[in-house]
Structure 1
Amino acid sequence: MFVRLQLAEKITMNLLLLIMASIWVIPLVYLVMYSLEGGNWANYEAVLSLDLFPRFLLNSFIVSTSVVLLLLMAVSLAAFGFSKLKFPGDSSVFAICLIGLMIPPVAMLVPLFQTIKAFHWMNTYLSLIGPEVAMSIPFSLLIARNSFDEIPNELLEAAEIDGSNAWGRFVHVILPLAVPVLTTIGILAFLNSWNQYLFPLVFINKETMLTVTMAPKFFIKEYTSDYHKVFAALVLITIPIVILYIFGQKYMQRGLTSGAIK
């Protein structure tokens, strides 16, 4: 049951939120200010004039988009199966799928490297797409299954009476109602993939296949480093995901809270 907050409680809560927001905003402000020192906009021009920078952007876009599409296909089908198509041992299989939440990506780095090398995926998009999709499935499946559980079974039963098969119920009933949670999963997957630094660092050693997160290292030399240009590169890398979050914020709020109330 919800209660009305008193004025003092509202002020206290707003102050706490302001403090929490400052913890995140202040470093960003410092990032932008430091990127403008020692040359102002010339630092950004130097980054944009980097010959491989457009290629880095293209690689990141290809990888992130592929991760989103593959993840949404896998997670939506799996969540539908676990939520609406009951089968023997479904709870045990679902629990096994969630084990990935307990394993940090760094702990999987050596096995992943051996697997990528065995598949001859080094210096390819697959070396970045495959591990990212695999690492994103457990959490995405958890929130998608919880959201699908909220969809009334009566809707599926009505569609079945009308002659719809399992695939028809998934496409015409589940997917339209699951847009908020699937949008949330897609945005989070895109952000994580766009910001991924570890996988390109380990699996890619060909410059033309690097992603945009590798751009700052071109301004870090063995004996000298131009950190103003490094910070400018970081700001440019951040712009696309900030824009994506601004336009997808309302879907993320609905998607993350779906399944929270039974």
Structure 2
Amino acid sequence: MFDIRSRFGRFGIQALATVIAVPYLLPLVAMVSGSLAGQGLGNYKKVFDTGVVPLYFLNSAIVSAVSIALVYVCTMLAAFGFAKLRIAGKEVYFWLILVALTMPEAVLLTPLFVTASTFDMYNQLIAVILPLTALQVPFTILLARGFFEALPSELLEAGRVDGANIVQVFLHIVLPLTRPIAGAIVVLTLINAWNAYLLPLLMLLDPQKQVVTLLPTFFISQYTNDQTGVLASAVITALPIIVAYLLLQRSFERGLAAGALK
């Protein structure tokens, strides 16, 4: 890590970091202060009085956990194959996967809706989990491939010399070394899965299947627009992901740095 020794340099970096952070902090401050307007903490009581907060949190936790597991498995296998295995045409497949990064989620909503209806997955959490996983995998593969390419090939060859097959090499030699990049993948997937809004809004009409990001819809309708309830719902929705990020911040930063270096 670079060490800035001069007082002027440290002041400059601190000032630059503050300037960058302020535009992101101001909306958060406005959200929290707005959620306390009028009734104060009573606005949060109003959200919990809807009776759906525990259920929505549980559904969001299921969506996030399953998405993380699927993204992790797909990313580790694909990144290992692209980085270390001899596969005919693997660069073509890799770039085809990266093309998916250019597809915005909104463009995919109609075909995803038709597919979910065709396969009888509409109003099921799986209709949200599978698209969320597919949308995350291209970027996580791009991130993880650089990390896998930095692993010494001699380790894999040593395992093969000792009699291990490729599956054993992957499970017992490669995977234990991927904890930094795995931390970054888990945090990225958790944030995106927990904060998903468009897909749950489209796919989950059953109140028993909806997720926590849809809490504000209780306070917005044709005849009502309770902004304090909306902001209190937004704060409640954001708190778990903020806490999770703070707890996993070090792993996330190490993983991003490791994935960027070759």
The TM-score normalised by the length of structure 2 is 0.96
Which residue does the alignment assign to 1:242?
Answer: 242
Which residue does the alignment assign to 1:133?
Answer: 133
Going from structure 1 to structure 2, the CA distance change for 1:29 and 1:2 (only over 3 Å counts) comes to closer
Give deviations 1:38-92, integer Å, cap 9, x for gaps. Answer: 1111111111121222111111000110000011111111111111111111111
- Structure 1 spans left out of the alignment, 5+ residues: none
Which residue does the alignment assign to 2:25?
Answer: 25
Structure 2 Cα separation of the partners of residues 8 and 17 of structure 1:
14
What is the count of residue pairs matched by the alignment? 262
Q: Which AA in structure 1 matches 2:143? A: I
Structure 2 Cα separation of the partners of residues 4 and 140 of structure 1:
32
What secondary structure does 1:178 align onto? helix
Q: How does 1:70-85 map to 2 (within 5 A)?
A: 70-85=70-85
* Pairwise CA distance, 1:238: 0.5
Segment of structure 1 superposing worse, 3-12 or 99-108: 3-12
Give deviations 1:5-39, integer Å, cap 9, x for gaps. Answer: 64333322221110111111111111111111111
Which residue does the alignment assign to 2:214?
Answer: 214
Q: Which AA in structure 2 matches 1:188? A: L
Which residue does the alignment assign to 1:37?
Answer: 37
Give deviations 1:113-161, integer Å, cap 9, x for gaps. Answer: 1111111110001111010001011001001111111110011111111
What secondary structure does 1:18 align onto? helix
Q: Does 1:91 align with 2:91?
A: yes
Give deviations 1:83-120, integer Å, cap 9, x for gaps. Answer: 11111111111111111111111111111111111111
Q: Is the 8 A contact 1:60 1:211 kept in 2?
A: yes
Q: Is the 8 A contact 1:56 1:211 kept in 2?
A: yes
What secondary structure does 2:208 align onto? helix
Q: Which AA in structure 2 matches 1:187? A: V
Going from structure 1 to structure 2, the CA distance change for 1:211 and 1:259 (only over 3 Å counts) comes to closer
* Pairwise CA distance, 1:2: 6.4
Q: Does 1:119 align with 2:131?
A: no
Which residue does the alignment assign to 1:193?
Answer: 193
Q: Which AA in structure 2 matches 1:218? A: F
Q: How does 1:132-151 map to 2 (within 5 A)?
A: 132-151=132-151
Q: Is the 8 A contact 1:149 1:259 kept in 2?
A: no
Going from structure 1 to structure 2, the CA distance change for 1:5 and 1:143 (only over 3 Å counts) comes to same
Structure 2 Cα separation of the partners of residues 255 and 202 of structure 1:
33
Structure 1 Cα separation of the partners of residues 201 and 137 of structure 2:
22
Which residue does the alignment assign to 1:166?
Answer: 166
Q: Is the 8 A contact 2:63 2:125 kept in 1?
A: yes
The TM-score normalised by the length of structure 1 is 0.96
Q: Which AA in structure 2 matches 1:200? A: P
Q: Is the 8 A contact 1:64 1:193 kept in 2?
A: yes
- Structure 2 spans left out of the alignment, 5+ residues: none
Structure 2 Cα separation of the partners of residues 112 and 10 of structure 1:
50
Going from structure 1 to structure 2, the CA distance change for 1:2 and 1:236 (only over 3 Å counts) comes to closer
The 4+ residue runs of structure 1 with deviation greater than 3 A are 1-7
Segment of structure 1 superposing worse, 222-231 or 120-129: 222-231
What secondary structure does 1:208 align onto? coil
Which residue does the alignment assign to 2:227?
Answer: 227
* Pairwise CA distance, 1:4: 5.0
